[in-house]
Amino acid sequence: MTVTEHIAPETTELSHEEIRRYSRHLIMPEVGMQGQRRLKAASVLIVGTGGLGSPLGMYLAAAGVGRIGLVDYDVVDLSNLQRQIIHGTGDLGRSKLDSARERILDINPHVHVETYNVPLMSDNALDILSSYDVIVDGTDNFPTRYLVNDACVLLGKPSVYGSIFRFEGQASVFDARQGPCYRCLFPEPPPPGLVPSCAEGGVLGVLPGVIGAIQANETIKIILGIGDTLVGRLLLYDALRMTFDFVKLRKNPDCPVCSEHPTLTELIDYEQFCGTPAHDRSAYASAAEGAVPLIEVQEVKAKLDAGEDIILLDVREPHEWQISDIAQATHHIPKGQVLEHLGELDTAREIVVYCKTGGRSADVTKLLREHGFLRAKNMAGGINAWASRIDPRLPTY
């Protein structure tokens, strides 16, 4: 059963105020009264209220989608405001769900908003997703992307996919009933640490607006049953070159979840599958942090003050050194070049590795220890922790 077959617009009425509100839709023959009733009768779940979830929530509300679900557990941080336009300066420290719900209802009070203040996980995904017509993936990590995909396949629901990084974005619609799923495109996740997050690699502020709007557009088309969706196609957007390209996708006859004879018939441990945590409340995240020796910034400061002979290794990118820098850093080697510069380091000396918040430096610390630098440690929290606890003159970013 398709989304449009499931929705019964004839049982939904529009008030006079709603008719005025949606008048620019109603005069379009592709939408009209029946289409607008269908939008009002529809339900959409948005996973994540960050960069992609912001335009998604606002545009779907403005379009008149009657029931919108939001899944998130984070709070609004100052670094979010460069791209997460559903939140404002006055929302700093607030729950993203509260902020997003308030903004959506301000845009359209006729929308019913349901919130789920939990990380989406294997033990709750099917329950949360089951009552929605369309699922929109606004997440930023591989475990949750695979989780959303597999749950949608098992439930027979379409998933509207989007991803962003620096100046590039992707979008598609995965619906195993009529085309490939996410696993058909990416059978295996990339090796842990290979693809940096937006927090580590950055993202152009307007990029999630572009991709999020495309996801909203696809969602509306799915509900209305009009146009050609991105099922079977992957859209590639390059903001620097201002180009849109498409890659044709095919269903994998051996896909473990959406083939005729699937081997995956229930949700699994996606953090273990991807080798990375899905969120900072994850037990897997704690285990990953414990995989390499940690050293707190206060202990590093004490060692430096005592004149101990340590190597303080900054593995951030060169442009990050211009934002903030620890004066006592002895070596600046970007993460991707560490192997080429092992000869500059000394296995006999204690090495303290740091980056922005500790993710990249954990990978480098593990790499160094595998190559005989057994006294290498990862500085917990990175230079942002140093700025917060040791030297407040430095900015956090």
Catalytic residues: 198, 355
Say if CB 257 and CB 150 are below 8 A apart: yes
Query: Burial of 253 by CB count in 10 Å (0-12 exposed, 13-18 middle, 19+ buried)?
Result: exposed
> Per the structure block, which two tokens stand in for 188?
């295996």
Q: Which residues, 6+ apart, have CB-to-CB distance to 247 below 8 Å?
A: 233, 234, 236
Residue 283: CB partners within 8 Å, gap ≥ 6?
none
**Cβ-count burial 180-219 (b if 16+ within 10 Å, e if not):** bbbbbbeeebeeebeebebebebbbeebbbbbbbbbbbbb
C-alpha 166 chain-centroid distance? 13
65: number of Cβ within 10 Å: 28
| 387 in Cβ contact with 326 (< 8 Å) | no
Q: Tally Cβ neighbours within 10 Å of residue 165.
A: 17
For the chain, the C-alpha Rg in angstroms (whole number) is 23
Pull the structure tokens for residue 326.
Answer: 């620890």
Q: Round to whole Å and give the CA distance between 294 and 291.
A: 9
Q: Cα separation of 53 and 211, whole Å?
A: 10
Residue pointed to by tokens 């993710």: 359
